[in-house]
Chain A
Amino acid sequence: MTNPLLRRIGLALAAPVLAAVFALVISALVLELSGSDSIDTFRTIGSNGLKLETFVDTLNRATPLFLAGVAAAIGFRMNLFNIGVEGQYILAGFAAAVVGAELNAYALPGFVHTAAIIGTAMLVGAAWAGLSGLLKVTRGINEVISTIMLNFIATGGIVAALLPKVITDPTAANQGTDEIAERAWLPELNGLLEIVTREIGKGRRLTGVFLIAVIVGVIYHVVVNRTVFGYDLRSSGMNPFAAFAGGVPPKKMVFLAMVLSGLVAGLVGMPEILSENHAYDQGFIQGLGFGGIAIALLGRNSALGMTFAALLFGFLDSSSAVLQVQASASAEIVKIMQATFLLAAVVAYEFVSRIRQRDEVARASVATDVAVDSAAIGGASA
């Protein structure tokens, strides 16, 4: 590839494509080694993927993953590793469910009730993440360690301690908070899809949080790339010393980034609270925080990249149910595909960025030589 533009586009696509191929090969290998038919498995996944209902499942699954990805990406942009998205959204989800159930007793318009729930979730998420930010800024405690510890304190401590206190029916099979009144539920968005598709069947409902995720994605993209604040955030992440000399105080940015990350993390549990269970119970979805980190890594912290990553992971997750029922392969192969894809992708990104760097240095030095030559010619003719 001699055309530099083609080469750049090629390089940009090379990493994810290489990683995808690698992940497919590894998964096929694992499948074959364990006695499953890999082609058959992939065909099952593929044909299932073409169904409209699978698409709804994919979107429902991708929505919280994408939100968690944005939360992690805000930290990554600042070179902060918010490993604590997990604890932040679980704590936030719990608090939101409690507040939502408490508000059942008051005569409120539905949208106020909903807003109160979402607001609570965001505030709690922000506070819990902000605590890590504060520890880092004031005490220099590494955010990786503090967020991990706070994850455990949130789930094993605070939620475990408070959940029994809010349970009103101790005989129920699934112990949790009271159901939130229907007025606060977010409407399903099936109608939105059905404008262009047939009617969605099998009781699938597209979560209303999907729209929130889209809005968050757009805001994230615009703020990070187009605003002075976003510039400050990115520059501080790339080189805090240079950013400081350029007027961006590093400690303030660290704290702000953690708070913003937590703010978005608070939304991750909203599909459960506002669309699916309408309560926090022991079956509250876990693991989305780490999933979100994977999404941010795959999507290279860009809104578009994370969209693709979330859709892909969401799709694979919704395929696992089908594999369980139909194919001879184990549904867990999906997890292996996701993880190998992630590992292969981060390695490939690093690899490609080194090639790109070398290219740039080469081009920059060509530019220098050209300038030297033309200066020499100019000097000679004068």
Chain B
Amino acid sequence: MTWLTNLPAWARWAGAAALGMLLLTIVQSVSGTELLTEEGTAQAMVRWSIPILLAGLGGLYSERAGIVNIGLEGMMILGTWFGAWGALNWGPWGGLLAGLVGGALGGLLHAIATVSFGVDQIISGVAINILAPGLTRYLSERVFSGEAGGSVSQSPRVDGFDSFTVPGLADGLGTIRDQDIFWISDMAGFARGLVAEMSFFTLFGLLMVPLSGWLLWKTKVGLRLRICGENPIAGESLGVNIYGHKYLGVIISGALSGLAGAFIVLELAGLYRGGQTTGRGFIGLAALVFGNWRAIGVLAGSLLFSYPFGLSLVDFNAESSGEATRAVLLVIAIALVGVAVWAFRANKRNDVILAGLIAAIALIWYLSTDTAASWLPNTMPYALVLIVLFFASQRLRGPRTAGLPYRKGET
């Protein structure tokens, strides 16, 4: 199996995605739903994954620089408010930029507290998560409540970006989809959802993945930023400005979280509303862990965690009421059986039993219902995070000194 580990990361993830599609296609044919690989599902998944992705990438910069950032959520909240404010005044681009700056300010605050003052990173993050909603509520009361449709907890409606369809590619994929070939057509249809009617902001978010990978692994700044997370003392002994790079990482982290917030306002909700981030910052953090602190891994995690929700958008409506979401239970059961087999071969008895047990629960659940309850898709991402961590946490390795305080000249 060494050829597997020798493949580049993107190829491995692509292979995993193809296998995942195969699994979805099979389950789909058993369960009598067509939504699992629907174009609309893919579209919704991608759209809803962007905030998680951006927050996760934000976490990537910060943790690679050795600073744990659970303030992502708070910085995202700042992004939502500033995004709405910017969009009201200067249109979508203004919203994007203002969201970025608002989040970056949150990042700066976190950097000052943790890097300069050595405050515990979790504590500072919690404080920012408490500060952000209060601040945005206050600002809304001052700025939005006077305007039509605005209030202490809500902004007037704002316009988002235009969307576009990648020409040729979408048509080509559409043609393959219509051929109705098992698995292949499903993949094509799903993939078409990724390239059709995509907003510029979505594209922008997706482009952050290769950009971040390139920046962190191919440039001087990236290498120096990463040494802050791996072994800052070694960096210091070679003259690297550790404080400066930590600041940089945390501020970029805030900026990306702010972008995530702006995305929610501009692309998902069409307005600012208090509490609209609903923990996506934390899910982003989980996607970071799931993705083993790699840009492409964060993307994979974001897509996985937003899939149930994306599906629920097409699954809970007049024609459908959770049949497809119910089918996801079967997907989970089968995936866990796979985990159990893998654990059996790796001789981990406890993992076999536990994976089998959870698989059995999911299967029984699947068999005993016809439709899933509407709360299930909201909960699934969080449960998925725990399940993934449960079976994979020992294989994941983050930056070695993330979370630890660093002070210059102390060895």
Contact = CB atoms under 8 A, between A and B. Distances in A.
B152 to A, nearest CB: 7
Contacts of B70: 83, 144, 148
A374 interface: no
B117, B128, B285, B382 — most chain A CB neighbours (10 Å): B382
B390 A153 contact: no
A99 to B, nearest CB: 22
Contact of A161 (B123, B373, B385, B386): B373
Given A149-B286, A330-B138, A330-B141, A139 B393 contact: yes
Interface in A140-167: 140-141, 144-146, 148-153, 156-157, 160-161
B254 interface: no
A64 B168 CA distance: 61
Interface stretch (B24-32, B129-137, B217-225, B260-268): B129-137
Contact of A347 (B113, B128, B138, B285): B113
A297 interface: yes
Interface stretch (A111-119, A178-186, A335-343): A335-343
B393 A339 contact: no
A156 B379 contact: yes
B18 interface: no
Given A149-B286, A149-B386, A346-B123, A338 B130 contact: yes
Given A156-B379, A330-B142, A342 B386 contact: no
A147 to B, nearest CB: 10
B113 A335 contact: no
Interface in B125-151: 126-131, 133-135, 137-138, 141-142
Nearest to B384: A149
| Best-buried of B120, B127, B285, B394 by chain A (most CB within 10 Å) | B127
A83 B118 CA distance: 21
A360 B5 CA distance: 53
A17 B285 CA distance: 35
Q: B113, B130, B373, B376 — which one has the most chain A CB atoms within 10 A of its CB? A: B130
Nearest to A331: B141
A6 B137 CA distance: 42
Interface residues of A, number: 44
A34 interface: yes
A351 interface: yes
Given A156-B375, A351-B117, A346 B127 contact: yes
Contacts of A30: 138
Nearest to B135: A336
B109 interface: yes
Given A81-B122, A330-B142, A140 B393 contact: yes
Contacts of A83: 70, 126
A40 interface: no
Name the residue among B128, B289, B393, B394 with the largest chain A CB count within 10 angstroms.
Answer: B393
A333 interface: yes
B134 A144 contact: no
Contacts of B386: 135, 141, 146, 149-150, 153
A145 B386 CA distance: 9
Contacts of B124: 343, 346
B382 A338 contact: no
A178 B217 CA distance: 58
B198 interface: no
Nearest to A33: B142
B378 interface: yes
A294 interface: yes
Nearest to A297: B123
A290 B70 CA distance: 13
B134 A332 contact: yes
B35 to A, nearest CB: 22
Nearest to B378: A156
A294 B127 contact: yes
Contacts of A146: 386, 389
A95 interface: no
A342 B285 contact: no
Given A139-B389, A149-B385, A332 B127 contact: no
A37 to B, nearest CB: 14
Contact of A342 (B120, B130, B383, B393): B130
Given A139-B389, A346-B123, A350-B117, A153 B134 contact: no
Contact of A297 (B126, B142, B279): B126
Contacts of A291: 130
A293 interface: yes
B375 A332 contact: no
Contact of A140 (B120, B133, B378, B394): B394
Given A160-B378, A330-B138, A343-B131, A145 B390 contact: no
B280 to A, nearest CB: 11
B119 interface: yes
A82 B311 CA distance: 32
Contact of A153 (B128, B137, B141, B379): B379
Contacts of A152: 279, 282, 378-379, 382
Contacts of B123: 297, 346
B325 to A, nearest CB: 13
7 contacts: A145-B282, A152-B279, A152-B282, A331-B141, A342-B131, A346-B119, A350-B119
- Closest 10 pairs between A and B when the two form their complex, measured CB to CB: A335-B134, A157-B379, A339-B131, A332-B138, A160-B375, A330-B141, A152-B382, A149-B382, A332-B137, A148-B282
Interface of A: 30, 34-35, 81, 83, 135, 139-141, 144-146, 148-153, 156-157, 160-161, 290-291, 293-294, 297, 330-336, 338-340, 342-343, 346-347, 350-351, 354
